[in-house]
Amino acid sequence: MLRFFLKRVVLTLPTFFALMFVTFLMIRLVPGDPVEVRLGERGISPERHAELLREMGLDRPVWQQFADYVWGLFHGDFGVSIITKTPVVREFLTLFPATLELTLCAMIFAITLGIPAGVIAATRRGGIYDQTLMGLALTGYSMPIFWWGLLLILVMSNTLHLTPVSGRIDLIKYYFEPVTGFMLIDSLLSGQKGAFLDAVRHLILPTIVLGTVPLATVARMTRSAMLEVLGEDYVRTARAKGLTWRRIIGLHALRNALIPVVTVIGLQIGTLLAGAVLTETIFSWPGVGKWLVESIARRDYPALQGGIMLISSIVILCNVIVDVLYGLINPRIRHAH
C-alpha cells in the first residue's frame, strides 16, 4: 500500500514541474507588464519605466527570474505580490478559507442531492422520474454559471426577497474580526445573535450556483453506475433470496456503485475551484478565484504564479488522496499497479 502511495506521489512530480514552467511562462506571454497596465493616457518615460521594472526585479533575464522563482518554491517561498507588497502565501491564506467554505458546501450540496437523484433515476429507469431527473441533470450540466447566478439573484433576492444578493454576511448588522476565515465558524464564535443564520443565508445562492454542475455530474454518474450494478448476478441473487428492495439497493448495489462515483467526486474538485472563479465574482465572495483573475489583469506575476501553484497543489493532492482511497476501496486497482 505504501509503495502504491509513494508511486502516486512520484507521478505528480512531472505535473508540478510542468505547472511551474507554464504558470511562469504564460503570464509573461501576455502583452504588457505590471508597470504598463497601470498607466492611463499619460504613459511613462522609458527611463522611469526601466527604473520601476528594476525595482520589481523584472529587468533581469527571464531565465534568471525563473531560476529565482524555482529556488524560492523549493524553499517554500512563493514570492511577494508586486502590487500589494504582501507575501503571496499570506494573501492566499486570507482568501482561501472563503473559497474552501464555498467549495465544501457546494460539494455537500452536490453529493447529498446527486446520489439520491441518481439512485431514484436508476431504479425507475425510463419512467417519468428518471426522465425528469436526467433532463434536469443535463440542463444543470450545461448551465452557464454566470447566467445562472445572475438569474438566481434576480429571482430569489430581488423579486422574492428570500436571500441576500451577495457577500458573506450582513455588513450593517454584524461586525467581527475573522478568526478562522470560515464565516460559518467565525459567526458562531462572534456570539452575535443571528450572525450564524445570516451567514448560512448568504451561502445558499453561491452554493447552488457552484454546486449545480457537480450535482448534475454526480447524479448522472450514480445513475449509470447503479444501472450497471443492478444488472449484476449478485443483485439478482439478493432479490431471489427475498431481500427487501431497500436492502438490496442500500447495502448491495449502492456500495458497489459508489466506487466510480467517488472518483468522479474527486475529479470535481478541480471543476469546483475553476467554477469558484465565476461564482466568487458574481457573489462578491472574497476567495482566491477572484484574486487570481485580478492578478492577471494587474500582471502581478508573483501572485499569479504562487496562487496557481498553491491551488494546483491542492487539486493534485486531492486527486492523489482520491486515487489512494479508490485503491483502498477497490483492491483490483491497487494490484494492477
Partner 1 sequence: MKRFGMFASALLLGTMLAGAAQAKTLVYCSEGSPENFTPAMNTTGTSFDAARPLYNQLVEFERGSTNVVPSLAESWDVSPDGMTITFKLRPGVKFHSGVNGFTPTRDFNADDVIWSFDRQWKPDHPYAKVSGGAYDYFNDMGMPDLLKSIEKIDDLTVKMTLNEPNAPIIANLAMDFATIASAEYADFLMKKGTPEQFDQIPVGTGPFQFVAYQKDAVIRFKAFDDYWGGKAKIDDLVYAITPDNTARYAKLKAGECHVMGYPNPADLEAMGKDEAINLLQQAGLNIGYLAMNAQKPPFDKKEVRQAINMAIDRDSILKEVYQGAGQKAKNLIPPTIWSYNDAVTDYEYNPEKAKEMLKAAGVENLQSDLWWMPVQRPYNPNAKRMAEMMQADLAKVGINAELKSFEWGEYRKRLQAGEHQMGLLGWTGDNGDPDNFFFLRGCDAQGTPASQNITKWCNKDFNDMLFQARKLSETADRTKIYEQMQVLQKEEAPDVTIAHSTVFEPIRKEVIDYKISPFGRHEFYGVDIQE
Q: Which residues bind partner 1 (CB under 8 A)?
A: 31-33, 36-43, 45, 48, 52, 55, 82-85, 91, 94-95, 98, 150, 153-154, 157-158, 161, 164-168, 170-172, 174-179, 189-192, 281-284, 286-287, 290-291, 294
Shortest reach from residue 183's CB to partner 1, in Å: 10
Among residues 43 and 127, whose Cβ is nearest to partner 1? Answer: 43
Among residues 148 and 322, whose Cβ is nearest to partner 1? Answer: 148
Shortest reach from residue 102's CB to partner 1, in Å: 13
Distance CA 278, CA 168 (A): 16
Q: Answer positive or negative: Cα dihedral of 138, 212, 132, 120.
A: positive
**C-alpha distance from residue 127 to each of 121, 124, 141 (Å):** 8, 5, 21
Among residues 53 and 235, whose Cβ is nearest to partner 1? Answer: 53
Shortest reach from residue 165's CB to partner 1, in Å: 5
Residue in this structure with the C-alpha cell 425510463, named with its chain if needed: 126
Among residues 217 and 281, whose Cβ is nearest to partner 1? Answer: 281
Shortest reach from residue 261's CB to partner 1, in Å: 34
Distance CA 263, CA 250 (A): 19
| Cα–Cα–Cα angle for 327, 329, 333, rounded to 5 degrees | 35
| Cα–Cα–Cα angle for 261, 263, 264, rounded to 5 degrees | 65
Among residues 47 and 233, whose Cβ is nearest to partner 1? Answer: 47
Shortest reach from residue 143's CB to partner 1, in Å: 17
Shortest reach from residue 246's CB to partner 1, in Å: 45
Burial class (CB in 10 A: 0-12, 13-18, 19+), 129: middle
Among residues 17 and 146, whose Cβ is nearest to partner 1? Answer: 146
Distance CA 96, CA 310 (A): 10
